[in-house]
């Protein structure tokens, strides 16, 4: 049961050195409109005090199954984990230590946080943090596999220098990244949990890199964030997702089938290899328009002379998908600096798309490399739908909302 307070999130804090980052996460969640209820393990209190979270959130921090309650309040205290489980839309645990992951995977409930987990019926987001060897241990990986199989979202830890001095995976993901994942999960809760069930969504994301020689290449400013947000949203809504990604610095969303590529030719092959499986195709990648056909095998040396390059067009993957799409829904992207709607309509018709997501990349603070975007959806029915500035996670949800409405309209028209 969920109460009318649809922006509540329970933040579980495990006992690791990264616990201090949970304070940043609480603030990031509140900035996104969430009311945050913090639940701390006994070990977490050794790293950061409950008072810090109480001051940030304005709410009592829960640290024990049985608080020092008066006799008349004993029953209320004993079932408080049930209330917390019912009142919150999402449960996020950060840091999720190796010990916590093991308890969650095996259903152990010896404190308030783990008892709340067992009573919680909504989506769970886990952000692990631990020593590299602990992360790589087969027991931890088996526990993660169990938790993924339950549909939990796992925010993989970052690589870097850890508190123990080791270098490798295990550092807690940045709070903004975790907050974005929680936001996307919460947005999905507004929809049917299975409105993309039985769908296979093929998504391309990121830039391509076209070699000029062994050390230089042509590329663009695409970060891949929009394509990855779409992939995460599709998985959360029940789809099988195949993500064909150019080189990016993002971790693949949990549950997607990642196909890494580098060049436009590699992306074309990956798209065509998986086209038959797809029911929805979303071409969010920023494919380089030109490439050097036969780049030299050795580095080109710098000289004082002027240099010219012969470049050929890269394959038009969107147009080729448009010719072969059949009954599939095809969505393209148009990143423009002027004449936004006109260019989007031209692409819609020339590439045989059902929808084009258009945005002006000349605006500061949105589009390339940003966490936010502002787009206009141009549909094959003739509609144009402006979508105001929002996080890419939110815009991804809106794209799927309109996409499903569009498909229903197209089917009704036949």
CA distance 361 to 339: 12
| DSSP 8-state assignment for residue 260 | E
CA distance 187 to 396: 10
| DSSP 8-state assignment for residue 285 | -
Q: Is residue 64 exposed (0-12), middle (13-18) or buried (19+ Cβ within 10 Å)? A: middle
Helix axis angle for 175-188 and 225-236, nearest 10°, is: 40
Q: Name which of 317, 194, 230, 302 is nearest 266 in CA terms.
A: 317
- H/E segment holding residue 373: strand 372-379
Question: 394: Cβ–Cβ under 8 A, 6 or more apart, which residues?
Answer: 183, 184, 187
The backbone region for 206, taken as left when phi is positive above 0, alpha when psi lies in -120 to 50, beta otherwise, is left
Q: Name which of 3, 47, 400, 408 is nearest 239 in CA terms.
A: 400
- Determine which one of 5, 163, 164, 167 is catalytic: 164
User: Among this protein's residues, is 353 annotated catalytic?
Assistant: no
Find the radius of gyration of the CA atoms of the chain.
Answer: 24
CA distance 151 to 215: 41
Cα of 393 vs its chain's centroid, Å: 7
CA distance 218 to 320: 22
Q: What DSSP string runs through 53-64?
A: HHHHHSSPPB--
Cβ neighbours around 174 below 10 Å, total? 16
Two tokens at 87? 């009142």
CA distance 36 to 19: 16
Which positions are catalytic?
A: 164
């Amino acid at each position: 049961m969920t109460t009318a307070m649809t922006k509540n999130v329970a933040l579980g804090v495990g006992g690791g050195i990264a616990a201090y980052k949970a304070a940043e996460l609480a603030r990031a969640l509140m900035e996104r409109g969430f009311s945050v209820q913090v639940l701390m393990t006994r070990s977490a209190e050794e790293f950061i005090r409950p008072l810090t979270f109480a001051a940030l959130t304005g709410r009592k921090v829960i640290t024990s199954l049985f608080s020092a309650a008066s006799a008349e309040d004993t029953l209320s205290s004993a079932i408080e984990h049930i209330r917390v489980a019912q009142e919150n839309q999402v449960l996020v645990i950060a840091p999720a230590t190796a010990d916590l992951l093991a308890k969650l995977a095996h259903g152990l409930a010896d404190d308030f946080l783990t008892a709340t987990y067992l009573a919680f019926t909504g989506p769970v987001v886990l952000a692990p943090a631990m020593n590299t060897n602990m992360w790589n241990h087969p027991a931890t990986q088996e526990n993660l596999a169990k938790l993924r199989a339950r549909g939990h979202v796992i925010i993989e830890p970052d690589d870097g220098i850890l508190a123990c001095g080791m270098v490798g995976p295990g550092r807690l993901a940045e709070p903004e990244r975790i907050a974005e994942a929680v936001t996307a999960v919460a947005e999905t809760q507004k929809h049917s949990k299975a409105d993309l069930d039985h769908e296979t969504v093929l998504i391309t994301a990121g830039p391509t890199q076209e070699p000029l020689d062994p050390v230089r290449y042509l590329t663009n400013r695409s970060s891949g964030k929009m394509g990855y947000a779409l992939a995460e949203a599709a998985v959360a809504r029940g789809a099988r997702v195949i993500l064909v990604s150019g080189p990016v610095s993002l971790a693949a969303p949990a549950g997607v089938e990642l196909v890494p590529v580098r060049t436009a030719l590699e992306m074309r092959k990956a798209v065509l290899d998986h086209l038959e499986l797809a029911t929805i195709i979303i071409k969010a990648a920023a494919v380089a328009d030109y490439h050097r056909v036969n780049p030299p095998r050795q580095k080109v040396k710098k000289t004082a002379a002027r240099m010219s390059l012969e470049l050929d067009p890269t394959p038009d993957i969107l147009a080729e998908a448009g010719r072969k799409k059949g009954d599939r829904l095809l969505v393209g992207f148009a990143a423009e600096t002027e004449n936004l709607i006109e260019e989007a309509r031209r692409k819609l018709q020339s590439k045989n798309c059902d929808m084009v997501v258009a945005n002006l990349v000349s605006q500061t603070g949105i589009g390339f490399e940003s966490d936010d975007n502002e787009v206009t959806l141009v549909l094959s029915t003739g509609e144009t739908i402006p979508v105001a500035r929002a996080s890419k996670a939110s815009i991804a949800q809106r794209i799927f909302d309109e996409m499903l409405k569009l498909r229903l309209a197209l089917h009704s028209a036949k």
